[in-house]
Amino acid sequence: MSNVEKDFLEIADTKTSKRRLVLVAAAAAVLLLFLAASYLTQGAMADLPFLKGQPGLVDQRPWLTASALADTAVSAEEKQFAREAERLADHEVDQAFAMAMRQAEMQTLVLNGPALQIQKKVNWLAGQVKQDQAAVDALNAQMAAATKRGGVVAPTLQDNLDVAKGQLQLDTDELSDESGNLARASGDKRIQIQQELAAREATMQKYDSQANSPGEPAVISAKRYQTLDERLDAWSNQRARRASLQQAQAETDADIARLTAQYAALNAQSNAATASIETANAAKPASATGLGATANGPPVVSDAKDKLAGMARAHELAQIHAILEDRLQTEKQLSTVYAKWIAQVGLQHRIAFHLLLQSMVEIMALVLGAMLVWWLVQALLDRAVSGTGVDYRSVHTLRTIVNLAIELVTLVLILLTIFGAPSQMPTILGLGVAGLTVVFQNFILAFFGWFMLMGRNGIRVSDLVEINGVGGEVVEVGLFRTTLLETGNWTDKGHPTGRRVRFLNSYAVTGQFFNFSTAGQWMWDEIAVNVPDGDGTYRTIEAIHKAVLQQTENDVKLAEAEWKDAASQQALGRFSGAPSVDMRPAASGIDILVRYVTRAKDRSEMRNKLYESVIKLLHKPPSAVPATVPGTEPEQK
């Protein structure tokens, strides 16, 4: 390695070391930040041991809201609050139905126009139903008397009874329909309230038949969040659930305000009704006859009726007052339950946030650990190769492999921390491998080709190679690509063309490549010479051959020794590295082509030496050309 390369590597190592320090310091600071946040939220673990109502006359929003929120309860503590909220909401809605029914019964209806006509028809149908019922009862009595006497019941009697029952059913259905029409025409809400109550009772029977799971305590429920994804999802869901509970509490508080206003208004009505009764009692004459007549005037029947009506109204208002007071207290208790439920969800929200911070701590610990391992491995490699003379290209390859392994392991651990282990691992691996094989086929082959190129029989930086017919010097062997600096023909110029050529490493798997750089970087080169025809032509050719033998003797011995050592079998031993001379007739004499072995880096120097020797031989007269060149005499046996 040259001094320039060493200086460059030292500068690069200094910059890399500073960059490592900055990265490690940043990772350590983030880790400390999350550790501090996790420590500050550890108290959350220590403390552990919206809808809109459907349209109708009776407001059922308290029950609908409580039942919907109960389905979102997760822990046992939440489910307990949910059951209490459902119980209070159910009681409040029952009281709302009772209050609505009493208010409908107290309503004074004024019949006029179509309502008055319907009322007349209803009264007539009521009389008809009464008559039909009397007829059915009379026929039933006749049937019972005939049966009691032991006689045979006349068929006509049975037929009359069936007809009477059918007529009774028809009149009853018609009376029911007309009663509904009368209620709608007169504004009577009792029938609609009854229908809503019947629908609610059917829903409650279905709800009571369903079993409720007790749930798990918040501690056990929180431990089920193992991955960052699960903890983040739980944290997000708790935020949404707390917002829904806050909305439900706000609606309950609004209902409390509304019921309080109704309570005050009803209290005023009740006091007014009581005061009117007391006033009527004070205005009653001191003496009255036993038949309801005063001593000085006519009977006071109308006054008595008004007094009884006022007392009845006061009684109804008192009952509604009691129901409304019960509803108000229930709504207050329901608001308190929602407040406790919100506090419980807030506690679980802090737990999820604490677990989320723990996951972030784990991820940052993995990143920091990977950086420290990477730093330690780099330091060990630097110490191992320091002063040993190991090729820096091999060290660079080893560092690349180690860095890639550390990054892959860290990435897998981080993904496991975030998403956890896949539940269907064989299926996921099969689909993933199939997809990667189809989509990234070339890159996969290039990746595995890189391992082959990094092997013993691969290529290294500065090797002279030929890939897909392009020859050049290797300047970079990346994970997926190989870069060459293109040169001319090996046996011709061998000079760079200035072009950089890049190949995917898949050629190492699916194609072929030639590496001209053996241990000594040996190559076959050739020179062409024209020898004029004459008496000493063959002596000149033999002299040229022997001069080439003399110049390349040492290179031939070294090349043959290295080839034998590199061979995997002894069959290569019969090949020789001795130069050869090919003669071809030409118009101006004889063309000879001399092939010889030389080092790739010394090919130009060797070619110049050989040309110099050949030129000297060609300029000598044929008689002066020695038959043998000193040092090339054959050995005596």
Spell out the residues 6+ positions from residue 26 whose beta carbon is closer than 8 angstroms to its own.
none
Average pLDDT over all residues of the chain: 76
Give CA separation, 215 vs 234, 339, 513, in Å.
16, 20, 68
Tell me if 597 sits within 8 A of 522, measured CB to CB. yes
Tell me if 465 sits within 8 A of 514, measured CB to CB. yes
Residue 49 has pLDDT above 70, yes or no: no
pLDDT value, residue 153: 61
Tell me the whole-structure pTM to 2 decimals.
Answer: 0.47
Tell me if 331 sits within 8 A of 256, measured CB to CB. yes
CA 559 to chain CA mean position, Å: 62
Helical segments of 283-391, H only: 301-385
**Residue predicted with more confidence, 29 or 118:** 29
Q: Choose from 385-399, 525-539, 546-560 the range with maximum mean pLDDT.
A: 546-560
Q: Determine the residue type at 585.
A: P
| Tens digit of each residue's pLDDT (9 = 90 or more) over 251-287 | 889 889 988 888 888 878 777 777 766 666 665 554 4
DSSP state of 571: G
Q: Which of 418-422, 459-463, 549-553 shows the lowest mean pLDDT across its residues?
A: 418-422
| Tens digit of each residue's pLDDT (9 = 90 or more) over 162-218 | 888 888 888 888 877 777 666 666 656 666 777 777 777 777 776 666 656 666 666
| Tens digit of each residue's pLDDT (9 = 90 or more) over 440-484 | 788 888 888 888 888 877 888 888 888 888 888 888 888 888 998
Give CA separation, 632 vs 497, 505, 550, 573, 592, in Å.
40, 48, 7, 23, 20
| Tens digit of each residue's pLDDT (9 = 90 or more) over 606-635 | 888 888 888 888 877 766 666 554 444 444
What's the mean pLDDT in 238-244?
A: 84
Q: What are phi and psi of 306, to 5 degrees?
A: -65, -35
- With CA atoms as reference, report the closest residue to 198 among 58, 335, 387, 341: 58
Q: What tokens appear for 168 in the block?
A: 């009774």
pLDDT value, residue 364: 92
What's the mean pLDDT in 306-316?
A: 69
pLDDT value, residue 514: 80
Q: Which of 76-85, 206-215, 320-329 shows the lowest mean pLDDT across its residues?
A: 206-215
pLDDT value, residue 287: 44
Residue 44 has pLDDT above 60, yes or no: no
pLDDT value, residue 228: 80
| 597: helix, strand or coil | strand
Nearest 5°: the CA angle 104, 259, 336 is 135
Q: Choose from 409-413, 465-469, 512-516 the range with maximum mean pLDDT.
A: 409-413
Q: Choose from 37-41, 373-377, 382-386, 522-526 the range with maximum mean pLDDT.
A: 373-377
Q: Choose from 4-18, 95-109, 172-186, 359-373 the range with maximum mean pLDDT.
A: 359-373
d(CA 282, CA 286): 9
DSSP 82-93: HHHHHHHHHHHH
| Tens digit of each residue's pLDDT (9 = 90 or more) over 349-383 | 888 888 888 888 989 999 999 999 988 888 887 77
Residue 71 has pLDDT above 60, yes or no: yes
H or E segment to which residue 200 belongs: helix 190-209
pLDDT value, residue 391: 64
What's the mean pLDDT in 15-35?
A: 84
DSSP 463-491: -EEEETTEEEEEEEE-SSEEEEEEE--TT
| Tens digit of each residue's pLDDT (9 = 90 or more) over 282-309 | 655 544 444 444 444 444 445 666 666 6
